[in-house]
Structure 1
Amino acid sequence: MLALLGLLWPPAVAASDSPVLVAHPSVQTPRLTRDTTRAIFAMRQRTWPDGQAVRVYVLSNDNPVHGRFVKERLAVYPHQLQLAWDRMVFSGTGQAPTRVFSQVEMRERIASTPGALGYLEREYLDDRVQVITME
């Protein structure tokens, strides 16, 4: 029905325009499914498949890059993700991801934190972080 109205979910966006998933170079997982990525960013999955702890970094909810990543790559809205984090924090069952203020800070934190995961626009990529493919 939505397709008949010209509305598609997730929105049709060129892959090169979407922020990409990036991790610390020590992460041994080269690709993740959307469901696994969503579980990690929702803070429900806390380890990589090899058992290493995942440290999740995100930009603020009002940052347009965060909005694009969450909507285009995770197929949820930023407020839905925030509600999940708030529920875990307030119930004492988990914690929210670490917020960073810029993509430069995101890159630096991911490059220096084993097990780190986040997202960047392609122009911020360098050889200190690795791109994780989403299936």
Structure 2
Amino acid sequence: MLKLLSRLRWCLAVCLLCSGMASGAEFVVIVSAKNPVSTLRTEQVAAIFLGQNGRFPGGAEAIALDLPLGSALRNDFYITVAARTPALMKAYWTKMVFTGRGQPPRELSGSVAVRKLVADNPAMIAYIDKSALDASVKAIQVTP
């Protein structure tokens, strides 16, 4: 039942994005060019960003970074990857912090700041505007 609900939320997110309700920017999930990871499943990315898993496949530490609260790219990322609206994300992190089970990812001011920090640290994973991509980081493939 839980997998069915997760799939339904994912389908809803895809429908919302395809219907033109999303912003014009396109995000990519990135890691340092020094990180050996090149592909992750959507649920693996979601687990890292939701604080449910702090490791990449293979066991290396994974530290998620976020864009500012309220940014269109952040909203698109969480709708697409975690099938959660901004309101659901706020409720999720409020509960996680209150119960002592986790802290939200560190927020940075924008895609360029995120890219610079990820480039210097193979443990970090983030999402940025596709137009901010350069050779210092690697866009990973996110598969269903």
2:33 alignment partner in structure 1:
25
What is the Cα deviation at residue 33 of structure 1?
Answer: 1.1
Residue 133 and residue 51 in structure 1: after superposition, are their counterparts in 2 closer, same or farther (change >3 A)?
A: same
Q: Which of 129, 134, 138 lines up with 1:121 in the alignment?
A: 129
Aligned-residue RMSD, C-alpha: 2.2
2:66 counterpart of 1:58: yes
1:93 alignment partner in structure 2:
101
- Structure having the higher helix fraction is 2
Residue 8 and residue 45 in structure 1: after superposition, are their counterparts in 2 closer, same or farther (change >3 A)?
A: closer
Percent sequence identity over matched residues? 23
What is the Cα deviation at residue 83 of structure 1?
Answer: 2.4
2:39 counterpart of 1:12: no
Residue 50 and residue 26 in structure 1: after superposition, are their counterparts in 2 closer, same or farther (change >3 A)?
A: farther
Residue 58 and residue 13 in structure 1: after superposition, are their counterparts in 2 closer, same or farther (change >3 A)?
A: farther
2:43 alignment partner in structure 1:
35
Q: Deviations over 1:42-97 (max 9, x none)?
A: 11011111211111100122111111222234332123223222222222222210
Distance in 2 of aligned mates of 1:120 and 1:13:
22
Amino acid aligned to 1:12 = C
SS at match of 1:127: coil
Give the TM-score normalised by the residue count of structure 1.
0.83
* Unmatched runs of 5 consecutive residues or more in structure 1: 1-6
Distance in 2 of aligned mates of 1:123 and 1:134:
18
Aligned residues: 128
SS at match of 1:27: coil
2:120 alignment partner in structure 1:
112
What is the Cα deviation at residue 8 of structure 1?
Answer: 5.4
* Unmatched runs of 5 consecutive residues or more in structure 2: 1-10
